[in-house]
Amino acid sequence: MVTPGTASAAAGQFRYTYTTTEGYDAVGFLNNPPSGTCVNVQGPASEPGSPSRAPSNQTDATATVFLDADCQGATYTLRPGARASERLLLRSVLFS
């Protein structure tokens, strides 16, 4: 007998900073993001095409952030509880 799998999620919150169309800094977040699924990050009312920055991984899973959307391009890995500098840019993230 096969038991159906359950969807897993990284417990906690992943935060990032983005710039609004008015030029203000704002914080976006993902609560309990899905594991094994690429998530494109962009804050509401963010400047079109602009990357987010300064990710903070407050989940219990490792987060791999990508410079490009759809988990493409250069990567950086953040362990659980890690925070990156303002210089780290991202457009997507994958939790493991």
- The full set of domain ranges for the chain reads 12-95
pTM of the model: 0.86
Q: What is the pLDDT of residues 33-73, one digit of tens each?
A: 999 999 999 877 776 778 999 999 999 999 999 999 999 99
Contact 17, 52 (CB under 8 A): yes
Nearest residue to 63 via CA among 19, 1, 5, 16: 16
Amino acid symbol at 76: Y
Strand-by-strand arrangement of the 92-95 sheet: 39-40, 92-95, 63-68, 72-78
> Within a 13 Å sphere around the CA of 68, how many CA atoms are in the beta-carbon half?
5
Tell me the C-alpha distance between 79 and 42, whole Å.
21
Domain 12-95: which CATH number of 2.70.150.10, 2.60.20.10, 3.40.50.12160, 3.40.1080.10? 2.60.20.10
